[in-house]
Amino acid sequence: MKITLLPAALLGMTLACGVQAEEKQPTPQQQRMTSCNERASADALKGDERKAFMSNCLKNDRDKEKGLTPQQQKMRECSNQATQQSLKGQDRTKFMSGCLKKSA
């Protein structure tokens, strides 16, 4: 019962706020949410998989807006690779150093 009431309530709120929504432009965060939500729906993602996708999508879109430098992007890629390999301490330091030198 609650599940069927939620879409009806959302539709009612949307219609009631329709006049006000026309006056306001969506914020950049709202635009990102809409874009990521559409992509998640197109891929038919649900549950934890959708949550993970949305989180990653919103973070990536936010990074694009910030305009990371190529060096910052490379550092992020190397760090992600080191994390995937579960490297810690001196092993991680050596890996990061080698990974970052490859781009130079």
**pTM recorded for the entire structure:** 0.37
Return the pLDDT at 89. Answer: 93
Q: pLDDT digits over 3-61, tens only?
A: 666 666 666 666 666 555 456 887 877 888 888 888 888 888 888 888 888 888 878 75
How far apart CA 31 and CA 39 sit, in angstroms, is 12
**Residues 66, 76: contact at Cβ < 8 Å?**
no
How far apart CA 89 and CA 86 sit, in angstroms, is 10
> What tokens does 27 get?
């914020």
Residues 51, 55, 58, 21: what is their CA dihedral angle, to the nearest 10 degrees? 40
Whether 1 shows a pLDDT value over 70: the answer reads no
> What tokens does 5 get?
């009431």
DSSP 30-54: HHHHHHHHHHHHHTT--HHHHHHHH
